[in-house]
Amino acid sequence: MMKTFLAAAALVLALGSASAFADKAAADACAAGLAPDAKAIYAASISSIGSGDLKSVVTASTKSLVAAGTIARGTARDSAMAAGQCLEQAK
């Protein structure tokens, strides 16, 4: 009985992990086509997906990148929106 339970639990965990990797792979593929500023926002945000709502994560990353001079302030909003569309796939 215990072996059956452990095998079932391992299967559930393995299947859950596979779908998470598929979602990340789709998000990465989406990000590959982004403009450089949007790619920077994506890269700064991807590790924080799941730690808060997507809008807050992207907003914080974008503000930080603008303050550091890494991305242009004038295109930050459009870049954040584009990155957010890709990040949505990783959720």
pLDDT in tens, 1-47: 434 333 333 334 444 444 444 589 999 999 999 999 999 999 999 99
Residue 22: per-residue pLDDT: 53
What Rg, from alpha-carbon coordinates, does the chain have?
17
Query: Taking 70 as the threshold, does the pLDDT of residue 68 lie above it?
Result: yes
pTM of this prediction exceeds 0.85: no
Whether the CB-CB separation of 48 and 61 falls below 8 Å is answered with yes
CA distance 27 to 42: 9
Residue count (the chain): 91
